[in-house]
Every structure is written in C-alpha cells, then in structure tokens.
Amino acid sequence: MAVATVARSRWTRQRLLRLYTVATGGAAVVVMALTAGHVVETATRYPSMWLMTVLAVLAGGLAFIESPAPGRPQMIVCPTICFTFAILLCWGLGPAIAAQALAVALVRWKLHAPMVDGVKAWGQYTLAFVAAAAVLWLGQPDPFERDGPTNIVTDALTVVGAVAAWLVAYAVLEYGHSVLRGLPARSRGLTHALGNQLLFKASLLLLSPVLAVAAHINVGFLPLIFVPLLAVQRMARLSAERDRAARLDPLTGLANRTGLRAGFRDLLAASRQVSPDGARGPATPSLLMLDLDRFKHVNDTLGHDVGDRLLIAVAQRISAVQPPEAIVARLGGDEFAILLVTDTPEEAERVADTVVHALAEPVRLDRLQIDVTASLGIASYSDGEDFPTLLRHADVAMYEAKQRGDAVATYLARADQNSPERLKLLTDFRDALTARRPEQIAMHYQPQVSLATGETHSVEALLRWCHPVHGPVPTRDLLSVAEHSSVMQQITMRVIDDVTAQLAAWRSDGLAIRASLNVSVRDLYSDALATHLARRLDERDVPPDRIQVEITESALLADPSRVQATVNRIAALGVAVSLDDFGTGYSSLQHLRRLPISEIKIDRSFVSGMADNRDDAAIVRSIVEMARTLGIRTVAEGVENEYTRQLLAEAGCTLIQGWIAAHPMPGPEVVQWLSAAPSYKG
C-alpha cells in the first residue's frame, strides 16, 4: 500500500509539472502574440533596440550551471535580464520578452538543457516581465521617453517598484515549480538557493536603469557593461564552486558530512509534509553506514593512488544502485553513507543487500582484480532524533555487523553499548575511582571450594560498584563500556591494590588463602601490569603464590605474541595464571601447550547445562580429564545445585565456584564465613 501511494504521488507530481510548463509557456506565447505588433513597430523606429537585443543574447553566453550540491536545487546563473529589463524600460513589454526568448534559446543550446526546461524558463521570465510592466504602466507609461515629462522621484520609485514586482512574481513561480519537483517546501536548501537567485537577479535588474539611460544618451557605452558582467560572472562561479566544495567530497564527488546533514534536514522535512488528502506519509529517513573491509591492506600493499581509485570505483557502484532521491556520501577514509526515505525497515534492508551485491564483483584496476567486501549498518529515524544521533546509531550497527562477520546489521537500542546514559555511567565511575570512595567501589570475594575435601583453598576477587543514584551497577555492564577506554587499566590497578591489601590483612590474621583477579586484553598489552603487581606484592609482603591472574581465551586470540610476553613475566614473579572461560575460544590446546597455565576455569555455559544436557556433561568430563593429564587444576564456575556438584565430583573436578558454596562477600566477611565452614588455614 505504501509503495503504491509513493508511486501514485510521483505520477501526480509529474502531471502537475507538465501542466505547469504548459501553463507558463502558453501564457508566454499569448503575451508574445498580443505584443507582436508593438515589437515590429519598435524595431523599425529604434535601431538601438537591436543592439540591446544582441547584447542580451551574447550575455547568454556567460551562463553556467551551479552544480547542485546535496540538498540544493540546480541553479542556472545567467546575466541576460539586465539587458532585457532595460529593453522593457526603454521600449516596452513585447521587445523585452522577444529578446528574452532569444537569450533563453541560446542558453538552452549552450547548456544542453531539455526543451521543456527552456519553455518553463521563458514562461516564468515572461510572467515576471508582465508583473513589472504593470507597475511601469501604473507609475508612468514611459519613464524613459526622451521628450516626455521627467520626474526624478516618480521615475525612481516606478523602476524600483517594477523590479520588486518582477522579483516577487519570479520567486512565487520558481518556488511553486521547486515544490512540484518534490523539494520540501520548508527545505533550507530550497530557501537558500532561491534566496541566492533573487539576490543575483536583483543586482542585475537594478543595473538595468543605467543601461536604459546609456541607450538614450550614447549606445556606444552599452558594450562596456560586459567588463563588470564578466567580473560578476567570475565571482558568482567562484562562490558556487566554494559552496559546492563545502558540501562535496573532492575525491569521489559524493556528498560529504555537511552535504549529508543538509540532505537529512530536507528529507526529514519532506517526510513530514502533509499529502493533498490531509494525511502524512509513512516514509521516514533511513541511514546506511558502509565501511570497506581490509581497505588498509590495499593502501599498504598497492599504494594510496590505487586506494583512491578503488574508492572512486566503489562510490560509482554505490551510486548506480541507489534510488534517484537517495543521497550517497563519503564520510572520510573508506566510510560511505546512504541517506534515503523508506516506508518500511525491510526496504532499507533491500537497499543494503543491493549494495552488497553490487560490491561482490571484483574491481578491475589496470591488470589487478581487487575483491571488495563491506560491512553495512542500518539506522532508521525515530521522532526527536537529530542527525548526529542517527549517524551514531548507523555507525554502531555497522560495527556490530563487522564484529559478527555479517554483511548487514540493523541498529537495536538494546544492543547499543555506547548510549549517552552508559557513557555518563562510565564518567561517574571514573570519578569514583579517582576519588577512591570505598562506599561506592569495593571488592567482594567468592570462595572456591575443593570437591575432594570441602575446604576453601581460594577466592575470586570481584569488583562491585554502588552508584549513588542508580544503586548497584552490574559489573558486566560497566566493563562493556570501560574495556575500550583508559578506565580499564585504572580498574585493574585498583583491583591489584585492593586485593594485595586484603591478602596482607588475611595473612596478618593467620589466614593463608589464594585470591584470583581478572585482567583485560588492554592490560596484557602493557608491561605496566606485571610491574605494578610486582611492586604491590613487595610493598605488602604478600607471597606471589597467594595471588593468581585470570586471563580469557579471547584475550589470547587478539595478539598472541604480545600477550604471551606479559603472561611469561607474570609467571616469572611466581604468580599463577588461570585460563578463564575455557572452552569458548578457538585454540585452547595451543594455549595450554605454550603458556604457563596453572588452572583452567570451565565456562559456566557448560557447567550449568550438565544436569540436562549430555553433550555439556561430556565436554566437562573431557576438559577435566585433559587437565588432570597435564597436571592442571580445574575450577567449575556457576555451580548452583547439588546434582551438578555430584557430577563434577564424579568427573574429578578440583574446585567449584558458585552459589551452592557461597555468594560473593566483602573481605572481612570471608573470615567469618570460613569460621563456620570447612576452611584451610596455614
């Protein structure tokens, strides 16, 4: 239904455009016919009119098209009206519109414009001249008659009024035509372009009285006007090029970020326009963000010149498969965006699939064939959103597609890890971390119990944050926004400080227990982790075997050589290393062979499914058996019921961790809990 409505709307608009052209062109022909006799009579009486007409036609040779930037309608810059309006002042309406017709014909031929555009332009000019002629007739039938009475004030006011009437009539006609073409009625691009046209035409029209006076005094002065006109034309061209450059990408010729922003405003205004039947259309702007995969490899291997040619080829392919009203932009580097109006989310997905298909064919550059793949993110406009928000949502979806290995992903608010609220949460946490507020940030410890003896050999240190307004914040939510920022390293250093201090306090109480702490990928890329850990162990006189560092398999996959160097430094301190979330990675056996691993923690996704899933139980038993063979202890995470505990005991698992044993608790409560439960003291 929506597609049919859009098609019907376009068909109606095309009919109205044809009717507009016929109406304005027909009106011009009628006026020309009515004034034909006056044209012939004037041509025989005033030879100077021929010179003015020739100059008007020659001025058409200075015309040029202001290349339309995104969000702006096309504008033809032509200085002929300063001559044709002077003809109106001197010799009347008929000669003026006749000269204008000749000039429009030349301009149409020079710019290769369609005939219908020429007819439309001549019709608009003719009707504007009719409005100006009416004012001249009311003010004084012939203000430039040599032998008639002269009144300086009346003549000046009449001419200014005629200029104003011409501009008003032309503005109304051009505005109506632009709206019929589909440009939003409240578009900034439309009003800006129309304002520029009127300013340029007003300056030409106000030059006409000078030409009219010169024609009555000495026609030899008239050709001199071409010198300032050439300067004005040059300035107008430079201004148009500067405005175009501000909105277009110089490499591909597509819109840039500024042009895309202007296009968003116009598409949004168009989608909000009321249809003739009083109903608003369902169409809303959608933004597709596209990022080329492995483009850096092309630049590094083949050079930036080849990379630029590849970007141009990609831009051409994307533009070729888009709807006519869509705006394609290059945002920088290898990032492109497509802004279009869609009726349903599925329509945006179809456009995205079309782009993916268009890029599937290798790009041929000289004798090279370069495979191009891309990740696309789709975001649809919601009421109240601004352009930066829509752009960010599309960017988030694009990176979601890249992380999942998919070609296309649609933005989902629940999957957005970078919402302003979450970033504000990170700022609040950074402030609390810097101020060292113990009432907000604290370490809790969850016991790990031996399945063989029931004793507690170790604990895992877990970060807890109680926001002063929102209350307890899930650690997973906090780490998801902190792991890609410098706050992650601050968290790790704070955890090392608090855990080593707690181990020292327990040791002074005669409690010998091992504490495990988690570190991130960013920590393993730096020497600061091992250095800081060694310093704190020495300062607090904590034996290295009382602390253990947990790393994840995903961290090992990122950059194995750098991670292995840091892990080896930690092990050289005498600190044990545990491999967390075991079984969720892709190269676990290789890690066990190369790294000094003392413990593996079986991921809770397998442990929790043991009671109901034979495959999970088999996986856990296999991991335990392999670890036993390698002399590595095993810890099962997420043990919450007795049946699972029994299965783990039968499999020979070393330690269990979960609610069946104990919930995480503050450090001082661990001592109280151990006094009432089987404990290990040394």
Overall average pLDDT of the 2-23 stretch: 64
Tell me: the pLDDT tens digits for 422-456? 677 778 888 888 776 667 888 999 999 999 888 88
- Which amino acid, 337? A
625-647 CB burial, b ≥16 within 10 A, e <16: eebeeeebbbbbbbbeeeebbeb
CATH number of this structure's domain 270-415, picked from the four choices 3.30.420.40, 3.30.70.270, 3.90.110.10, 3.40.50.300: 3.30.70.270
Report the pLDDT value the prediction gives residue 127, as an integer from 0 to 100.
92
What is the CA 393 to chain-centroid distance, rounded?
8
Confidence at residue 65, expressed as pLDDT on a 0 to 100 scale: 59
Give the start-end residues of each E strand in 488-624. Answer: 514-518, 547-552, 576-582, 599-602
Q: Which residues pair with 551 in a beta bridge?
A: 579
Find the helix or strand (DSSP H, E) in which 341 lies.
strand 335-342
pLDDT for 237: 67
Sorted by where each begins, the domain ranges of the chain are 2-58+78-237, 270-415, 422-676
Confidence check: pLDDT of 137 > 70: yes
Phi, psi dihedrals of residue 380, rounded to the nearest 5°: -105, 145
Rounded to 5°, angle at Cα 624 from 620 and 625: 115
Asked if 579 contacts 599 with a C-beta cutoff of 8 angstroms, the reply is: yes
Banded model confidence at residue 1, pLDDT cuts 50, 70, 90: very low
For 38, other C-beta atoms within 10 Å of its C-beta total 15
Q: Are strands 408-410 and 374-380 parallel, antiparallel or unpaired?
A: parallel
**Structure confidence by residue, pLDDT tens digits, 68-120:** 544 455 566 678 888 899 888 888 888 999 888 888 888 888 877 788 888 88
Convert the pLDDT of each residue in 291-320 to its tens digit. 888 888 788 778 888 889 999 999 999 988
Q: Give the model's pLDDT for residue 461.
A: 94
Query: Can you read off the two tokens belonging to residue 6?
Result: 């859009």
- Tokens describing residue 108: 């149409």
Q: Record the tokens describing residue 36, joined without a space.
A: 């034909």
Question: What backbone torsions phi and psi does residue 13 show, to the nearest 5 degrees?
Answer: -65, -40
Three-state SS at 516: strand
pLDDT at residue 10 is higher than 80: no
Return the sign of the alpha-carbon dihedral for residues 503, 509, 514, 516: negative
Least confident stretch, 148-162, 278-292, 438-452, 594-608: 278-292
Residue bearing tokens 């019907």:
8
Three-class DSSP category at 616? helix
Half-sphere exposure of 493 (CA within 13 A, CB side): 17
pTM of this prediction? 0.52
Average pLDDT, the chain: 81
Q: How far apart are CA 473 and CA 482, in angstroms?
A: 13
- What's CA 637's distance to the chain center, in Å? 41
Rounded to whole angstroms, the Cα distance separating 381 from 385 reads 7
How far is it, in rounded angstroms, from Cα 501 to Cα 46? 106
The 10 Å Cβ neighbour count of residue 90 is: 25
- Who's near 227: CB < 8 A, 6+ residues apart? none
Describe the crossing of helices 81-91 and 152-180 by its angle, rounded to 10 degrees. 130
DSSP assignment of 207-242 equals HHHHHHHHHHH-GGGGGGGHHHHHHHHHHHHHHHHH
Q: Which of 564, 645, 557 has its CA nearest to residue 608?
A: 645
Q: Which residue's structure tokens are 């298909």?
A: 357
Cα–chain center distance at 299: 23
CATH superfamily of 422-676: EAL domain (3.20.20.450)
Q: Is the pLDDT at 336 greater than 80, yes or no?
A: yes
Residues 6+ apart with CB under 8 A from 124: 24, 170, 173, 174, 177
pLDDT of residue 174: 84
- Residue 422 φ/ψ region, left for φ over 0, alpha for ψ in the -120 to 50 degree band, beta for the rest: alpha
pLDDT on residue 277: 41
DSSP state of 281: P
Average pLDDT over residues 225-233: 73
Confidence of residue 599 (pLDDT cuts 50, 70, 90): very high
CB 216 within 8 A of CB 144: yes
Q: Are 637 and 603 in contact (CB under 8 A)?
A: yes
At residue 12, the pLDDT reads 66
Give the DSSP H/E element, type plus range, for residue 465.
strand 456-467
Cα gap 606→583, rounded to integer Å? 8
- Phi and psi, residue 579, nearest 5°: -100, 110
Structure tokens at 236: 């107008």
The arithmetic mean of pLDDT across residues 147-157, rounded, is: 70
- Beta strands 456-467 and 75-77 are unpaired
